[in-house]
Structure 1
């Protein structure tokens, strides 16, 4: 299910996680050559992705948001 990115946070290992409008999080790793997301490396790059829609597999599986997650709008 397509959901918009509403913010970013770092996980316990320092990887960037996109906070989605549904309350779920989705990792946005930059780990070349497997995953190339250089925009995650700057605040300006991440800000430019706010509003971008990504597929949320957790919504597809009807999973509830994690405890303490951003509340859906």
Structure 2
């Protein structure tokens, strides 16, 4: 289920995590070549992604049950 990004924070391992409108979270790592998200490395890039839709795996799991 698609959910909007409402904010970001760093986890205890210094990886960026997106807060989603559903109240769930999702890591948004920049680890090329597997995950190419250079925008997450700058404050400006993260601000530009507020409102962007991400697939919320937790919502998908809840809706399966």
Shorter-chain TM-score: what band? over 0.9
- Alpha-carbon shift at residue 57 of structure 1 (Å): 1.0
Structure 2 SS opposite 1:26: strand
Distance, in Å, in 2 between the alignment partners of 1:12 and 1:18 is 14
When normalised by structure 2's length, the TM-score is 0.92
Greater percentage in helix = 2
When normalised by structure 1's length, the TM-score is 0.83
- Alpha-carbon shift at residue 34 of structure 1 (Å): 1.1
- Runs (4 or more) in structure 1 with deviation over 3 Å come to none
Give the alignment of 1:2-13 within 5 angstroms.
2-13=2-13
Look up the match of 1:52.
52
Q: Deviations over 1:26-72 (max 9, x none)?
A: 00000111111000010000000000011101001118xxxxxxxxx
C-alpha root-mean-square deviation of aligned residues, in Å?
A: 1.1
Uncovered stretches (5+) of structure 2, i.e. residues with no partner? none
